[in-house]
Amino acid sequence: MTSTPNPSTVSIGLREAAHVGIAVSDLDRSVAFYQALLGVEPVVRDENMHGPGFAQSQGLPTTKLRYATFNLDNLGIDLIQFQDPIGDRSEPAANRPGSMHLCFKVDDVSAVYDRMRDAGFEFLGRPYTFTEGEVYPVEALGTEVAYFNDPDGTNLELIAPKGGFARS
């Protein structure tokens, strides 16, 4: 377990994300899913990334993997299929500690939801708009969200942010 540094004595100051890495069980299936979702092809695809130094940097005894990278305007998405060692499947869910989600900003969640559903994407529920008493600050009222999963269960979100949920 990682210790938690005291923020009153430590401030590293990281301010920009480069990419998010998502472990997948079948790279080809996941590339097809994200290509349909994002509307772009991967900018990089490597079928044989390996090496003892790379393995050690990840706390593994050995590693061999396949990966593909998609670039969005503000973030890269690396899809990574470990071939050696093959890991156990996780069971991500919104309420499970250690689970995370990747959120895509859109202008109109309901319109994108309808397009995606018509194209065969499955959602966990219908789009939802935050109302008074459910969110703080109140300027975030009207933020609309919808949640879905990728083929391996990674939590994904659509958001049309308002107020405190909008980034400047």
Nearest to 60 by CA among 81, 44, 84, 40: 84
Answer for the pair 69, 76: CB distance below 8 angstroms, yes or no: yes
Answer for the pair 149, 155: CB distance below 8 angstroms, yes or no: yes
Looking up tokens 């990728």 gives 150
pLDDT in tens, 149-167: 999 999 999 999 987 777 7
Q: CA-to-CA distance for 52 and 114, rounded, in angstroms?
A: 46
Q: What is the DSSP letter of 74?
A: S
Nearest to 71 by CA among 29, 34, 26, 119: 34
pLDDT at 1: 64
Comparing 6 with 28, the larger pLDDT belongs to 28
Comparing 134 with 5, the larger pLDDT belongs to 5
pLDDT at 101: 93
Q: Apex CA 16: angle with CA 10 and CA 22, to 5°?
A: 105
At 140 the three-state DSSP class reads helix
Helices (H), the chain: 27-38, 52-57, 109-118
pLDDT tops 70 at residue 136: no
Domains of the chain: 19-84 (3.10.180.10), 101-165 (3.10.180.10)
Percentage above 70 pLDDT, the chain? 96
pLDDT tops 80 at residue 168: no
Give the list of residues 6+ apart from residue 7 with CB closer than 8 angstroms, or none.
Answer: none
Q: How confident is the model at residue 125 (pLDDT cuts 50, 70, 90)?
A: very high
pLDDT at 15: 85
96, two tokens: 């499970």
